[in-house]
Amino acid sequence: MKKKLSMIITIIAMLMLVTACGNKSASSDGKVTLTWWDAYTDTDGTVISIKNAIKKYEEAHPNIKIERVEVPFAELKKKLLLGAAGGELPDIVIIDNPDHQAMAAAGVLADITDNVKEWGESDSYFEGPWSSTIYKGKNYGVPLGSNNLALFYNKELLDKAGIKPPTNWNELTAAAEKLTDKSKGIYGMSVSAIKSEEGTFQFLPFVWQAGSDLNNFNSEGTVKAITLWKNLIDNGYMPKDILTQNQQDIALQFINGKTAMMVNGTWQTSNLQQKANFDWDIVQLPEDKKGGTILGGENFAVTSTSEHKDEAWDVLEFIQQKDVLKELVKEKGYIPARKDLVEDDYWQNDKLLKPFADSMQVAKARAYGSKYPSISDEIQNMIQGVLTGESTPEEAVKQTAEKIKPYLSE
């Protein structure tokens, strides 16, 4: 009986060993296979640069094979969360930087703090994009590239009015007033105040410029920021339609000559080059107490269930080499998150990209922990309430500060 039991245990152990070996991502030729998820489609020029980067890595590391899988953007977060629960995640993933901390908190991403420390290049990155990869003092990724907001202006309208691009809030208000022509249906200024993340995305830079932040939201600066928007609407310098217009909508209004200035992002430059039939330009966002803009963009990460974390990290380190990273950032239409790369002539000598590149010094990420989506919801409600006249700036800011306080406790 004991001998039979011993045989059964041996068989079970062998089966377990076979199963464990089967779970290893190793091909029959002995290569280690890494899986890579991103949300880029074949119509996105970034795919070509990604495939080139992967090819370069595989040529330099013949023992590694990388299998890239395209996951639709709308499904990526859900698949990552389900994958974490089921232990079926890729080795490498590219994710939106505002989602990074939430993914880390959910256990999707691997802690690569030691790898980053040994690498020794974290100081090469701007504080804004790098902060989006940090959760509770640990590092969970490295930036791919960034975008941010700046002020687009109709140069023909400003020249005709004898106005220079505004550099501060007082100049912004004065310019918006002078550029508004109600008889022609032209507004001086537009932002997106829509009840979505785009509204929060457009509003936060004004909060930061006024010297406030989410951890001291109930302050003079926040009141001043939302009051600026309210006054521009109440005086007819901004259309009330901005309450339902996203960033693409206000870009269309700008292209159609219905707004002289707008706050918008890096991704709009190619669209305007193709469609705007007038002379236009871009400057950094006007300042109040200080300069400030907000970051979008994406980060690389290694996942928590990867059985080849060291190999996956080695891929990330390879891609962060300036010559490899430059092609990725260029094709995506991003601004580099690396300080040394942003000085490249490609960004410094392009008059439309340079304002965004220079803004990286004062660009902040939405790095407020895993509960940021709930914070954003409350800010959206506040914006809508104040701009429609349902509440005063002071009351709305005070109430919103209390509502977001529990979400900032991480």
Per the domain annotation, does 10 fall within a domain? no
CB atoms within 10 A of CB 340: 11
Q: Where are the beta strands (DSSP E) in 105-228?
A: 134-135, 138-139, 142-154
Are 162 and 279 within one domain? yes
| Number of domains observed in the structure of the chain | 2
Let me know: does 264 contact 205? Beta carbons within 8 Å.
no
Supply the pLDDT for residue 28.
55
Per the domain annotation, does 306 fall within a domain? yes
The two beta strands, 293-302 and 92-96, are antiparallel
Per-residue pLDDT of the chain (410 residues; tens, 9 = 90+): 444 444 433 333 333 333 333 334 555 567 899 999 999 998 777 899 999 999 999 999 999 999 999 999 999 999 999 999 988 999 999 999 999 999 999 999 999 999 999 999 999 999 999 999 999 999 999 999 999 999 999 999 999 999 999 999 999 999 999 999 999 999 999 999 999 999 999 999 999 999 999 999 999 999 999 999 999 999 999 999 999 999 999 999 999 999 999 999 999 999 999 999 999 999 999 999 999 999 999 999 999 999 999 999 999 999 999 999 999 999 999 999 999 999 999 999 999 999 999 999 999 999 999 999 999 999 999 999 999 999 999 999 999 999 999 999 76
| Domain end marker among 364, 380, 398 | 364
Are 175 and 142 within one domain? no
Are 395 and 338 within one domain? no
SS3 387: helix
The DSSP bridge partners found for residue 187 are 259
φ, ψ of residue 37 to 5 degrees: the values are: -110, 135
Per the domain annotation, does 13 fall within a domain? no
Let me know: does 315 contact 34? Beta carbons within 8 Å.
yes
The two beta strands, 138-139 and 363-364, are unpaired
Q: Roughly how many angstroms between the first and final C-alpha of the chain, as a whole number?
A: 57
State the pTM of this model.
0.91
Per the domain annotation, does 173 fall within a domain? yes
Per the domain annotation, does 22 fall within a domain? no
Per the domain annotation, does 212 fall within a domain? yes
Supply the pLDDT for residue 42.
81
Tokens of 153: 């202006």
Residues 6+ apart with CB under 8 A from 250: 190, 191, 192, 242, 259, 262, 263, 264
Q: Report which secondary-structure segment, H or E, holds 297.
A: strand 293-302
The span from the CA of 317 to the CA of 181, in Å, is 53
The two beta strands, 293-302 and 363-364, are parallel
DSSP H helix total and E strand total for the chain? 19, 10
Per the domain annotation, does 190 fall within a domain? yes
Supply the pLDDT for residue 43.
77
Residues 6+ apart with CB under 8 A from 403: 378
Q: Report which secondary-structure segment, H or E, holds 295.
A: strand 293-302
Are 134 and 189 within one domain? no
Are 283 and 324 within one domain? no
Are 328 and 384 within one domain? no
Q: What is the CATH number of the domain that holds 378?
A: 3.40.190.10
Are 210 and 273 within one domain? yes
Are 159 and 263 within one domain? yes
Per the domain annotation, does 340 fall within a domain? yes
Are 239 and 373 within one domain? yes
**Enclosing domain of residue 125:** 31-146+295-364
Are 312 and 403 within one domain? no
Are 323 and 275 within one domain? no
Are 401 and 391 within one domain? yes
